């Protein structure tokens, strides 16, 4: 038996109605609801004072292994506003690809937020499967990249400084 947990009465009522009237559509409803109701499990990698007061968190549930590469969603929060061209932002949520055998880490997508990462982003950029090199899009200090690489690849040291 499938056990479901709902955050509000309306969702619970909709599921019960669909279960009784249209059981085949219940699965479709759950698929539509799941991305909006699932919360990320954020884990802090760097203490706020350790890398220019930048807070770096990873979504533990997003970590995926593909051979020597690791895909992970990261949330980065800065102590003060940052600028990228004509955009002022204080936090980002980014999809990263980290290479465990080389120094070819890339950004796959980035969403920029004015303050916290709640609500609608100011701007989002998707770089596709090729991504953008970390040296081109400098959103993190080198020490933070080293911490991400060590953490994602399960190492005690990094390949490059």
Numbered ranges of CATH 2.40.128 in the chain: 42-153
Query: Which residue carries 């506003």 as its tokens?
Result: 81
Q: Domain 42-153 falls in which CATH fold? A: Lipocalin (2.40.128)
Three-class HEC string of 14-65: HHHHHHHHCHHHHHHHHHHHHHHHCCCCEEEEECCCCCCCCEEEEEHHHCEE
Query: Which residue carries 């190492």 as its tokens?
Result: 155
pTM over 0.75: no
CA distance 161 to 86: 31
Select from 84, 94, 82 the least CA-distant residue to 52. Answer: 82
Q: Which of 73-77, 114-118, 133-137 has the highest mean pLDDT?
A: 73-77
pLDDT digits (tens, 9 = 90+) for 65-97: 999 999 999 999 988 899 888 899 999 999 999
CA distance 133 to 47: 25
Do 73 and 98 contact (CB within 8 A), yes or no?
no
- Three-state DSSP class for 73? strand
- Three-state DSSP class for 68? coil
pLDDT digits (tens, 9 = 90+) for 18-65: 455 554 443 333 333 333 334 578 888 755 455 567 888 899 999 999
Mean pLDDT of 129-145: 85
């Amino acid at each position: 038996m499938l056990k479901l947990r709902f955050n509000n009465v309306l969702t619970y009522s909709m599921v019960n109605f669909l279960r009784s009237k249209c059981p085949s559509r219940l699965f479709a409803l759950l698929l539509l609801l799941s991305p909006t109701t699932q919360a990320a499990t954020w884990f802090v990698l760097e203490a706020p004072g350790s890398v220019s007061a930048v807070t770096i968190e990873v979504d533990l549930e997003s970590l995926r292994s593909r051979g020597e590469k690791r895909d992970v969603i990261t949330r980065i929060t800065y102590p003060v506003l940052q600028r990228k061209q004509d955009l002022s932002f204080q936090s980002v949520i980014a999809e990263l690809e980290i290479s465990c055998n080389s120094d070819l880490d890339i950004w796959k997508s980035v969403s920029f937020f004015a303050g916290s990462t709640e609500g609608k982003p100011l701007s989002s950029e998707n770089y596709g499967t090729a991504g953008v090199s970390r040296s081109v899009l400098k959103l993190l200090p080198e020490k933070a990249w080293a911490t991400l690489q060590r953490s994602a690849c399960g190492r005690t040291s990094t390949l490059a400084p």
